[in-house]
Chains A and B, each alone.
Chain A
Amino acid sequence: MAHLLEVEDLEVFFETPGGGPDVHAVRGVSFTLDQREKVGLVGESGCGKTTTLLAVAGLLAPTAKISGRVVLNGQEILGLGDRAMRPHRWTEMSMIFQGSMNAFSPVTTVGRQLADAIQVRGGQPKAKARARARELLSLVGIPAERASSFPHQLSGGMRQRATIALSLACEPKIVLADEPTTALDVMVQAQVMELLDRLCDELGLALLLVSHDLMLVTEMCERLHVMYAGEIVESGSDDQIVGAPAHPYTSRLFAATADLSTSAAPVAIPGAPPRLDHPVAGCSFRSRCDKAFDRCEHEAPVLLPVRPGQEAACHLVEDHDVGEPGLAVPGGSEFIPGGRDGSA
């Protein structure tokens, strides 16, 4: 079956100024995105999640060395120049950026900027584009008359809604969202996530969501990929990641997040991710892993199936019997999903 978006063995290197070793930011990342599917990429700062997203969108600086395959709707788009990439942007694939303040020009009204995008990309006449801009604002819950507001006149939450409207301007099939709620307070974050969720369902969009907040992503996406030091270290469905994570890193990310549904205080992950300008010997997570043993020192684990639909790159899952769901997973916790009442 053809996927809407297929990323295969993506590698990204950045040159270091001054001739140092290249930074190997993305290391053999593969994943797919189907129609109407919501997929999350999760990991700490510097794990390569945003670089992956930018590589998919063809937005990395020309100095980045990229290899692998990115297939959109059956067409290879990796390495396409700006001009060749243009028909795919906005109409097939659009992006929501992190800093909503910077996504808009400060000197033009929000409505005008929306209309511009529609006019240029969608080839609509001006009057129609303006009407559509107002329609889009209403769609994201902003009163249409705010089309004449400048970005600074909108609250942070409204601005982020407006960037969502912008991303939907030309009816794309895929929306790439890079930390869409990081700068917002939790109440607005919840509102924006709910809006994004609802719009994806109503408009039949596929969503690729990048975030450092694992719990935010599990509440939103059906499939998750956990990234560490440029690699995907665990993939699985929302149920599998929430209920039985197989990689110690995934468990530690859960344990590090404050959760009102458990009385256990969150525990930070000690240390920091390894530098990416040197090859990492063995498992990249081993120095921060409380389950590391001899083998992790010298042998890099590869993604292996844990159970159908779930993979993890950890030596502890190697001897696991595949296909028997419900087995105790090494590194996994005994958490039973079900929220507040189930875990009291």
Chain B
Amino acid sequence: MALLEVSHLVKHYEKPRGTLGALSRRPRQYVKAVDDISFSIEQGEMLALVGESGCGKTTTAETVLRVIEPTAGTITLSGTDLTGLSEAELRPLRRHMQIVYQDPYASLDPRFRVSRTIEEPLAIHGIGGSKRARRDLVSEALAQVELVPTNLFLDRFPHELSGGQRQRVAIATALAVNPELLIADEPVSMLDVSVRAGIMALLSRLCRERGMGILLITHDLGVAAHFTDRVAVMYLGRIVETGSTRAVLSGPQHPYTKALCDVVPKRQTKRDRAEGSLLRGEADATGTAAAGQGCRFRPRCRYAIEDCVEVDPRLRPVEAGDGHETADGHEAACIRPGLFELGQNVEVGRE
């Protein structure tokens, strides 16, 4: 049984149609923020949900946490279906799923010392009993995120910490209650390039050592590349490609994944840069491409053909040249398979 099982998750928002619209019985219109996606995370596994701003990745995360209510679909954590639960029933389960937010400058209370920030969730969930026992747990959490010696950090305020250290405190706060699932929403995008790898390596290690499942939300395939087991690429509410990180990044099969791979800056000069592969425009969740039939990526896709207007592509297993499905559960939602060679790129992925 998977740790987290998300099945046919849907989150639609109704577009405002105004009083006149309602009176004239104009049909309701919806923004399909998340439109029928399914994925699962095993214990000790890190899954990256990758896509541009507005593709629905954060909505997915918040729906999993039941911070926002899904329109349809089920979310199962360790066998318990979360979707039907009331707020009171959900509360004891909350400690099993924690989140680390993007901006460690905003997510930590500036008036709380590090020790108090980490201790608060312990107190809320009634973990640790005595104050002394709780303090030991706080120190342990700090040690887990490599803020050692811990007594050097316990009494500090957030403004006395660097961005990377703050994000480590945010991770320690999430870890303190010993969750089974950690959602990391763009945990490194606010940080300097020089410390990003350290935070990602930390998450990767915690995931493995503690058998925790991690859902990593990121817009940057470069961040996902070397530290995650599997990736799911989202575009306008749908997963358009998924599989092991190694399989997907070494041979992206969906034109969108290919474009995401191409925009990650590389160690090269301007002259070496491949010309003309850049996608135009932005993913518009409120636009016609998201609402209508056919492939949602079509308006920005250089490989689009007439059929793409009609056919709504669903995830299909990627076939290797010999007609067999590739290993690693590699799937892509494009009606033109074989646009790009498999295993063309350098193999990257978690060791």
Contacts and interface: CB of A to CB of B under 8 A. Distances in A.
Interface of A: 44-45, 155-158, 184-191, 194, 197, 212-216, 218-222, 238-239, 242, 252-254, 256-263, 265-270, 272, 335, 337-340, 343-344
5 contacts: A186-B221, A238-B269, A261-B266, A337-B272, A339-B274
A265 B346 contact: no
Interface stretch (B136-144, B188-196, B291-299, B312-320): B188-196
A269 B162 CA distance: 14
A242 B346 contact: no
A242 B273 CA distance: 13
Contacts of A156: 53
Give the most central of A253, A257, A269, A338: most B CB within 10 Å.
A257
B346 A260 contact: yes
A265 B266 contact: no
Closest 8 CB pairs of A and B: A268-B198, A258-B222, A185-B219, A265-B226, A215-B265, A266-B197, A190-B263, A238-B269
Given A187-B263, A263-B347, A218 B269 contact: yes
Nearest to A156: B53
B270 interface: yes
A253 to B, nearest CB: 6
A266 B273 contact: no
A214 to B, nearest CB: 7
A338 B268 contact: yes
Interface residues of B, number: 47
A188 B264 contact: no
B261 interface: yes
A194 B278 contact: yes
Interface string B40-79: 0000000000001110000000000000000000000000
Contacts of B348: 260, 262-263, 265
Interface in B90-106: none
B278 A186 contact: no
Contacts of B198: 268, 270
A256 B196 contact: yes
Contacts of B280: 191
A190 B276 CA distance: 11
Given A185-B220, A215-B268, 15 more contacts: A158-B282, A187-B219, A194-B278, A218-B269, A219-B265, A242-B269, A256-B195, A256-B196, A257-B193, A259-B264, A260-B266, A261-B267, A268-B201, A339-B268, A339-B274
B225 A260 contact: yes
B305 interface: no
Contacts of B200: 266
A268 B197 contact: yes
B266 A259 contact: yes
B53 A213 contact: no
A340 B219 contact: no
B171 interface: no
A126 B52 CA distance: 39
Given A214-B193, A263-B347, A242 B52 contact: no
A215 B266 contact: yes
Contact of A340 (B193, B260, B345): B345
A219 B268 contact: yes
A268 B282 contact: no
A238 B269 CA distance: 6
A198 B266 CA distance: 19
A157 B282 contact: yes
A256 B267 contact: no
A265 B197 contact: yes
B267 A189 contact: no
A242 B279 CA distance: 26
A340 B222 CA distance: 14
A287 B52 CA distance: 38
B351 interface: yes
Contacts of B192: 44-45, 212
B2 interface: no
Given A218-B268, A340-B346, A186 B225 contact: no
Nearest to B163: A45
A201 to B, nearest CB: 10
B223 interface: yes
A262 B220 CA distance: 16
B53 A216 contact: no
B198 to A, nearest CB: 3
Contacts of A269: 194-195
Contacts of A254: 267
Give the most central of B196, B226, B351: most A CB within 10 Å.
B226
Nearest to B221: A260
B249 interface: yes
